[in-house]
Amino acid sequence: MKRLRNYVLYIFVLLAYQFAAVCPVTEKEILLQFKGNISSDPYNSLSSWDSSKSVCQDFSGVFCNPTGNVHKILLWNTSLAGILSPALSGLKYLRILSFFGNKFSGNIPIEYGDIDTLWKMNFSSNSLSGQIPDFLRKLYYVLSEDAITPNLDLFLELASE
């Protein structure tokens, strides 16, 4: 009997896990995943990014559209270090991503190519490296090639909306 109960419990956990895997995550969860990949936040710029807070009302640097979806993230001169979380690609209404003046390292995640609404990115003054992902070359019309040093330092803007 006990074995059967354990078995039923096991099936239940398995189903719950699969449900969680297919169930879309909320924008708050996405932003908290992004925060999870920040290794240093010297000015506590993301202290308001807390699961008990409201994304649109409380998260500093996050701006929402009238329907309550994140459409802009501005984190300027905040010296944030870490990698850019691929999770941001789950923000389906994101239009502007501006991380000027931070210490993000690593690549621009290829997943950002999935954000159809994105039209402006400013990653100037960071420590990004690697290739410019192909999707950015296709998507964006201003790609200041002269700003690209061995450390990727770029500003990108889409030709038209």
Ligand X SMILES: *[C@@H]1O[C@H](CO)[C@@H](O)[C@H](O)[C@H]1NC(C)=O
Q: What are the helix (H) ranges across 77-156?
A: 134-139
CB 15, min distance to ligand X, A: 23
Binding segment for ligand X (CB under 6 A), chosen from 1-9, 29-37, 61-69, 133-141, is 29-37
Give me the long-range contacts of 74-78 (CB less than 8 A, separation at least 24).
74/98, 75/45, 75/99, 75/102, 76/100, 76/101, 77/101, 77/102, 78/41, 78/43, 78/45, 78/102
Q: Which residue has tokens 């896990």?
A: 17
Q: Which of 56, 64, 81, 83 binds ligand X (CB under 6 A)?
A: 83
CB 136, min distance to ligand X, A: 14
Chain centre distance of CA 61: 13
Which tokens sit at 38? 């920040």
Binding segment for ligand X (CB under 6 A), chosen from 31-39, 48-56, 57-65, 109-117, is 31-39
CB 39, min distance to ligand X, A: 7
Binding segment for ligand X (CB under 6 A), chosen from 12-20, 33-41, 54-62, 130-138, is 33-41
Q: Cα(first)–Cα(last) distance of the chain, in Å?
A: 63
Chain centre distance of CA 1: 47
> In the range 87-146, which residues lie near ligand X by CB under 6 A?
98, 100-101, 122, 124, 144
Number of residues that bind ligand X (CB under 6 A): 14
User: Which residues contribute to the site for ligand X (CB under 6 A)?
Assistant: 33, 36-37, 76-77, 83, 85, 98, 100-101, 122, 124, 144, 155
